[in-house]
Structure 1
């Protein structure tokens, strides 16, 4: 069974570049099935699991909206599958689709849709006919931990889009409707409520929509977010309490006890309660795992056999992954199964309860810390002591108390028992917030190359049997892993972050960080920076931006300014329109030097301008390589900038997202770029980049990269002066990621992958006069 589980993981996580040979090899292993040797049969089972998972994945991916129809309008009918999110300015819902018009070769089965403005009240379980504009499930591809395309894939989303209008066809029904009615009843009983009311709703029906951002921050800082998500802990408590109570009552009725043993009745009632609770939680991944574990225990009681702990865990993984291989994309999958595995490893029957609980909590905290670092880039150093207190309190008081309060409130509404219970929780959460404000989460930034090998070795030694010589090395190796120095920054690294229809660039020298523009502002008060630029800075250990340059105040360049300043300290803010953004003005002639790298402002020539004409233009020069950042520089100002360019540049950030109002031949003759980076939104309504600009760059011999197709682009100069380029989408792509293409305008250009070698002009190929290279395409 372990071979089957491992096989289910391979197609989901194998890099797309090596998927063909990896999957072919796995399929060939199925031919070993007739062999008698146990190893051969396990390999055949592994190959069969790979084939099964690949088939399920192929069918799911085939249901995605065809690329040629992305951006088209459709009329769809279906059922609202989950609790809709409504913040007053935007309603977001998930729709299980029944019909779509115009028809498609394969109907997208599930869509994530946004309804802007004053939308009607939408409830889970209702049937609607909606007029929508759809796109393929695509997200930014940046060197950050959160992967939006993976997030959509593991939720079965085949298309995304927004709603023009619609009509309700039928009232709420089914399990989703029942869950929606429960959530609505709870919200009414609790009133507006505070954090305590939000936690009660989360614990009873898995409705976490009311949990505020501040409360999530408190829970993350203390390491207890898992306590407000219905998971194995909660399912186990409900199943156990229901089973014990029903078995005790069963024994009091002799006629029942003679017909069925109390243990059987307890097992069936406990399983039924667990199933109902999981349905109230929307059958989330942790609840499905817990249901299988509860079923193993119930089966053992029914057949009067002692269950194997590890077999139950493996069976749970099999039951979760076989119908849904995408489940392993969720960090919750690894944290959930990892926590149970660590509990099974650490628990020693017969030991003192307090000592055993302490041992288990330390083991879970230490064991999950690497997973938390890998998934979220941070962990809470107070997690172990806090959970040692919070877990039993939640299990023995909070969860049972919430259910008892809900039952009492249903019997005696005038008593407002549930509201009183929520008020008590409010007091507890206020104290938790006070504590969290005095604690800082550990964000180590880029980890040392030796971190994972050392930690893996420490974990392997820790699993050795007691008495095995050398187990003391566990702590030594773990200490070395945690104290190993992070890799040094290169002489220069420039990351063009994918932010959609906008721009954001991070320039890093050995000891300094500059951010040039912050990406676009979206509707409903959100910005691209929150999901791209800010996670990049946090993930790379940037706690302070030495200089933040906002080229000008347009929303697609300054829209993430507030989000960046909330998340990271800014030493100095410079802007083309300081009256709009704050800070000091940028002006041609300003210059400074960091760690051997020179920064020079080339525009604007005069202050007091507005709009695109106010754009700051910056050149970054290491002496060997140069990068030119142009903001929304307009054609009228390009001659003055061209006159200030002293040497050809290696990388040009193409002005105004590839619009025809920028990037004139005069600027290109002065800059003569080797690599041209365009930051334009995928399938944007402006038709950028303009075909004329792409053709102009190609005639100049520049390799053209559009972030909408390539994902983030990182260029860096190593200590030896070599110049490396990484395109995030081709480098990180898995089978579920959208494919990278050439530049959208005409799709006739190809861009370089890997290293760009320095070659002087020898007169061959198309060139702007500084570097020779083959013609684009």
Structure 2
């Protein structure tokens, strides 16, 4: 007996999505012609097959289609021979520019004509315009507005992100968004503004500016987010508070907001048709309401910037409209499946985004668990939906973000009715009135801000609670299906036996193995922070951080963006000590961000550097944790304040080997250490002093260490030339293997009974979009 499977339904939608996922897990893709042939065969099987064959066809088609999209996206990225080159381009600013005190960041679509290099025509660039500090702040960069056309010279490189334990992957995002290159404007070259701003993005930017002007409250940035999907004003602390209270989905414009707009105008259309019954002769009232809902929701999705949750809602509304026009009954589950198929067919790489999973999974859980919710009371329905969303989406939020909001269910019980019925409608009314006449929506935006502030007092206190946000380590990949099975089991109807046993299936996700060293062993993890240094030393029950990475004022902060997320992903619950090698920004810059999240009981730094609350790291000082000795070799109490040369030199001694962290000392200090006691320098692992600078790694020091591996912590294509070729050659001649964060990402060194174990993120977890591997392949050819 053959099971009938519809060509477009939930089974084929799930197969299509799964095929795209499997494709993106491959370390490399087959040739384009193979993918194209596979796509044609799979499409025929999907269309003509029956039963399981149709599902298999959808699965293969999803993988082949995603492979073709990924192949094209990677082929459009900047060729290796154009890296760090300067190019004259002209085109249009797309999206909303982000303005910071020292730079303006924006996306730029290059024009398609003969005046620009062929590899850049029609491509999307992610650019920055920095202030020229020699001339003071450059006011011209303020003229970068959405929709502007410009001609200027840019210095470009291929999209390349940092690779660390954690959840953010910049290279993946660049591939998903089809970004060809990133770079900055060469302000020394001629610049010309060709045309003023126009289009929907220009209107959005004007509305955002107007909201800031008329809403004289700190919550104006939240009103902007709710009114037009502009989240540029929300900083890291704002997002942390929203994540802690589980309210992120309500601030960023979601499918709910789009559905609210569509539903409101559907009611308006129904009222108009009721007042003017002769319109029914031209178009029946149900079909008219459906068409109006689709048109208005599409317009609002454009105003919100076409974020994925809004696209999903528009597609679902479109499916319902088509069903209404064809007078066919359509279940919500079918509409969800059709929308998923449409999204994957249009852009299969959308499965890389968290929004895809949270939006579709959230609706799917509610549809499956609450089919008869219309018959319930409003309070019972709210409680039931909150329970379903909390349990059903918990596995995804942990896998995607490494966190769970313990305060989220409580906060949502208040926020969902108050924001959904008061704050959001007022913000949307303001946007609608502003579209009709400038200034007409001012009162609505002010009212939305007032209503938001009224509720935010509660949520701010919840976010500040130490138990509001639960950060979880990275689990094994099997933890996700086990947790999904547990959620399914717990959400089954009453009377299903064994629900208590389902709690055991949560353990691999909520209590994963952190792979800690054993007593007497140590692990040194050098994070990929770009041009700077940060390393974590773990023992069986303790953790010490050496340096906190770079940071610039009001800009990139490796402590916030890299170190803290990596510590959370590794399951570090506390830091027992922090060592700041010296006061340079590329070592101490992220210290404040780390201290905000992990307030260590003791901080060490050179006595001349003004690190808040720090004790001096003096030669001879030592302490012992879990059978591992931490010992400072430099500076002594009489060493002068020479900045780099006065760096704290830390040696980690275990029963199975040693590691040496010398900060930014120079060759003079290295020779001093050799003369003082060369035996103290013996180490299996050495982090090269001063990022592999030519002024460090003295030959006598290199010989004294006898290192098996030396680590170069430096940025890719460092403008300082780190690590220097001569230094790399010197270490290699001594028989030492050379590794770098620029090439391999974060690197783990385990000093253990079985010998030294080394693992780098880029080689341990290869990805299709790995820029380092792609550039090496191109250069080899």
- Per the normalisation by structure 2, the TM-score is 0.88
Residues 159 and 174 in structure 2, CA contact (< 8 A), matched pair in contact too:
yes
Is the CA contact 1:443–1:541 (under 8 Å) kept in the aligned structure 2? no
1-side partners of 2:202 and 2:389: how far apart? 37
1:496 — aligned with what?
Answer: 526
Give 1:331's match in structure 2, choosing from 354, 358, 361: 354
Which of 418, 423, 426 is the equivalent residue of 1:401?
A: 426
Q: Contact 1:8/1:322 (CA < 8 Å) preserved in 2? A: no
Retained in 2: the 8 A contact 1:108–1:159?
no
Question: CA 1:452–1:207 in structure 2 vs 1: closer, same or farther (change >3 Å)?
Answer: closer
Aligned to 2:153: 131
What number of residue pairs does the alignment pair up?
Answer: 741
Of 253, 258, 269, 1:230 maps to: 253
State how far apart, in whole Å, the 2-side matches of 1:412 and 1:715 are: 61
Contact 1:676 1:697 in 2 (8 A): yes
Q: Aligned residue for 1:517? A: 547
Q: Which residue of 1 aligns with 2:278?
A: 255
User: Which whole-Å CA distance do the structure 2 matches of 1:511 and 1:589 have between them?
Assistant: 24
Structure 2 residues without counterparts, runs of 5 or longer = 1-11, 132-137
Deviates more, 1:621-630 or 1:40-49: 40-49
Q: Which residue of 1 aligns with 2:330?
A: 307
For 2:650 and 2:769, locate their aligned partners in 1 and report how far apart those are by CA, in whole Å. Answer: 38
> Aligned match of 1:116 in 130, 137, 142?
130
Q: Measure how far apart 1:250 and its partner are.
A: 1.1
- With over 3 angstroms needed to count, the CA separation of the structure-2 counterparts of 1:227 and 1:514, relative to structure 1, is same
The aligned residue for residue 662 of structure 1 is 696
Correspondences of 1:133-532 after superposition (within 5 Å): 133-165=155-187, 166-190=191-215, 192-195=216-219, 197-349=220-372, 351-353=375-377, 354-405=379-430, 410=437, 413=440, 416-438=443-465, 440-446=467-473, 451-452=479-480, 454-462=482-490, 469-471=497-499, 473-475=501-503, 477-478=505-506, 482=510, 487-490=515-518, 491-522=521-552, 524-532=554-562
Q: Contact 1:10–1:50 at 8 Å: present in 2 too?
A: yes
Number of the residue aligned with 2:135: none
Q: Which residue of 1 aligns with 2:603?
A: 573
Question: Structure 1 residue 348: deviation in Å?
Answer: 2.9
8 Å contact kept, 2:403–2:471: yes
- In structure 2, the residue corresponding to 1:701 is in which secondary structure? coil
Q: Is the deviation greater in 378-387 or in 454-463?
A: 454-463
Offset of 1:446 from its aligned partner?
Answer: 2.6
Query: Which range is displaced more, 32-41 or 111-120?
Result: 32-41
SS in 1 for 2:660: strand
- TM-superposition CA deviations, 1:587-644 (whole Å, max 9, x none): 2222211100112212123433321210111111112111111111211121232334
**What does residue 775 of structure 1 align with?**
none
Decide whether the 8 Å contact of 2:516 with 2:538 is kept in 1.
Answer: no
* 2:32 is the alignment partner of 1:9: no
Assess, with a 3 A threshold, how the Cα gap between structure 1 residues 485 and 727 changes in structure 2: closer, same or farther: closer
Structure 1 position 82, deviation (Å)? 0.6
Whole-angstrom distance in 1 between the partners of 2:680 and 2:507: 50
Q: Distance in 1 between matches of 2:532 and 2:513?
A: 35
Corresponding residue number in structure 2 for 1:79: 92
How many Å separate the matches in 1 of 2:412 and 2:164? 33
* C-alpha distance 472-630 of structure 1, shift in aligned 2 (>3 A): closer
Tell me the distance in 1 between the aligned counterparts of 2:31 and 2:654: 42
Cα 1:330–1:652 change in 2 (3 A) is same
Contact 1:26 1:46 in 2 (8 A): no
**8 Å contact 1:30–1:43 — kept in the other structure?**
no
Residues 430-471 of structure 1, C-alpha deviations (whole Å, 9 max, x = no match): 342233323533434336768546424413534767765545
Relative to structure 1, the CA distance from residue 669 to residue 558 in structure 2 (aligned partners, 3 Å threshold; closer, same or farther) is same
1:103 maps to 117
What's the CA shift string for 1:446-501, capped at 9, x where partnerless?
Answer: 36768546424413534767765545533454478646775544431110111111
651-660 vs 432-441, which deviates more? 432-441
**Which of 587, 591, 597 matches 2:628?**
597
- In structure 2, distance between residues paired with 1:93 and 1:670: 49
Q: Deviations over 1:166-215 (max 9, x none)?
A: 3221122233233333334434443x5321x2222212211122334443
> Per the alignment, do residues 523 and 215 of structure 1 end up closer, same or farther by CA in structure 2, a change over 3 Å counting?
closer
**In 2, Cα distance between equivalents of 1:91 and 1:189:** 24
Q: CA deviation at 1:37?
A: 5.3
Given that 1:512 and 1:546 are in contact with CA atoms closer than 8 Å, whether structure 2 keeps it comes out as yes
Q: Retained in 1: the 8 A contact 2:89–2:116?
A: no
Equivalent in 637, 642, 645 of residue 669 of structure 2: 637
Assess if the C-alpha contact under 8 Å between 1:587 and 1:607 holds in 2: no
Q: Cα gap change, 1:313/1:295 in structure 2, threshold over 3 Å: closer, same or farther? A: same
Where does residue 8 of structure 2 map in the other structure? none
What is the CA distance between 1:298 and its match in structure 2?
A: 1.8
1:322 is paired with a residue whose SS is helix
- For 1:418 and 1:661, locate their aligned partners in 2 and report how far apart those are by CA, in whole Å: 59
Calculate the TM-score normalised by the size of structure 1: 0.89
Conserved 8 A contact 1:630-1:654: yes
Structure 2 Cα separation of the partners of residues 654 and 372 of structure 1 = 38
Residue 766 (structure 1) aligns with: none
Counterpart Cα distance in 2 of 1:105 and 1:482: 47
The residue number in structure 1 matching 2:713 is: 679
Alpha-carbon distance in 1 for matches of 2:115, 2:618: 55
Q: Could you say which residue in structure 2 is the equivalent of 1:561?
A: 591
Structure 1 residues 79-136: Cα deviation after superposition (integer angstroms, max 9, x where no partner): 1111111123221111111158661445471111111123232211111112211111
- Shift in CA distance, 549/214, structure 1 to aligned 2, threshold 3 Å: closer
The equivalent residue for 1:733 is 766
Equivalent residues of 2:559, 2:592 under 8 A apart = no
Q: Distance in 1 between matches of 2:77 and 2:568?
A: 33
Measure how far apart 1:503 and its partner are. Answer: 1.1
SS at match of 1:569: coil
Distance 1:544 1:532 in 2: 16
Q: Distance in 2 between matches of 1:378 and 1:301?
A: 41
Q: Once the 2 structures are TM-superposed, how far is the Cα of residue 722 of structure 1 from its aligned partner? A: 3.7
Q: CA 1:621–1:480 in 2, change beyond 3 Å: closer, same or farther?
A: closer
2:771 match: secondary structure: coil
Match of 2:617 in 1: 586
CA contact (8 A) 1:64 1:108 kept: no
User: Over aligned residue pairs, what C-alpha RMSD do you find?
Assistant: 2.9
